[in-house]
Amino acid sequence: MATIIQFKPDSLKKFDYKPVKKSKRVDLERHGQLNLFSSPAREARVIQMKSDFSPFEQGLFLDEKGDKSAKELYQKAISEQDYIADAYCNLGIIESKEGNAIGAIDCFTNSLKHEPRHFESHFNLANLYFDNNDLKLAKIHYQLASRIQHDYPNVYFNLALVLAMLEEFKDAVEALRKYKSLTTVSEHKNADTLLKNLQLSLAAKN
C-alpha cells in the first residue's frame, strides 16, 4: 500500500494571530502626544493618554507597545460598549499569549456573538483550535474567515496546512494556490514546499 505523507503542526509554521487595527487610529502627534514610533530612545517614556481617546483606542495603542495595561483597557472598552467585538478579539489574543486557551476562546466567541462576521475573530479562533489540534473546528473558522475577507492570503496558507493534516489534499492544493495568487514570489518558499508535499501525497493516494 502507498504511504501517505503525514503532516504535523510543526512541519511548517502557520501565520500567527491577527489583531484588530482600526484604520481610524488616532494620530497621537496631531493630538499633542509624543510620537513613540520615530525614536527607540523615546519608547521607554511614560505617556499619559488624553481623555478624549476611547478605552479601545487607548488599549490598542498600549497593546502595540507591549504594555500589559492594555488588557484592562480592553475590558473597560467592553464594559462601556466601545468597539465590543474588536476589544474582545484583541483581548482574546492577549489571553492566548498568556496561555489561557479557555479565556481566549471565550473572548473570540463573545466577539462573534456581537459581530458574527468578525474576520479577525474567526481567523484567530481558527488559529487557537489549530494550536490545540482541533483541526475540524480550525478548518471551519478558516473557511468562514476566507468568505468574509477574500483577499487575506494568510488564511489560505493556514487553511492549506489544516486540510493537509486532515488528508484533504485536493482542497489543500486549491487553498495553497489561492495563497500564492495573493502573494509575491518572494513569499512562496514555504508554500512551494507544502505544495510539493501535497502533490506527492496525491500521487501516492492515487
What is the structure's pLDDT at 203? 75
Compute the mean pLDDT over every residue in the chain, rounded to the nearest whole number. Answer: 82
User: Confidence class of residue 43 from pLDDT cuts 50, 70 and 90?
Assistant: very low
Which residue from 61, 63, 64 is spatially nearest to 49, judged by alpha carbons? Answer: 61
Angle at which helix 153-165 crosses helix 189-205, to 10 degrees, equals 30
Highest mean pLDDT of the ranges 19-33, 132-146, 177-191? 132-146
For residue 90, with 0-12 CB atoms within 10 Å meaning exposed, 13-18 middle and 19 or more buried, which class applies? buried
Calculate mean pLDDT across residues 45-71: 81
Q: How many CB atoms lie within 10 A of CB 165?
A: 19
- For the segment 17-35, what is each residue's pLDDT rounded down to a tens digit? 788 886 344 443 333 343 3
Calculate mean pLDDT across residues 154-167: 94
51-55, 102-106, 164-168, range with the lowest pLDDT: 51-55
What share of the chain in percent tops pLDDT 70? 79
Q: Does domain 32-118 have CATH number 1.10.3470.10?
A: no
Domain boundaries, the chain: 32-118
Angle at which helix 55-64 crosses helix 70-79, to 10 degrees, equals 160
| Helix (H/G/I), strand (E/B), else coil: 26 | coil
pTM: 0.78
Grid coordinates representing 138 are 480550525
pLDDT at 190 over 90: no
User: Confidence class of residue 198 from pLDDT cuts 50, 70 and 90?
Assistant: confident
What is the structure's pLDDT at 204? 75
Instruction: Identify the DSSP state of 88.
Output: H
Which residue from 199, 195, 201 is spatially nearest to 176, judged by alpha carbons? Answer: 195
pLDDT at 40 over 80: no
What is the structure's pLDDT at 206? 66
Q: How many CB atoms lie within 10 A of CB 113?
A: 13
Calculate mean pLDDT across residues 147-151: 96
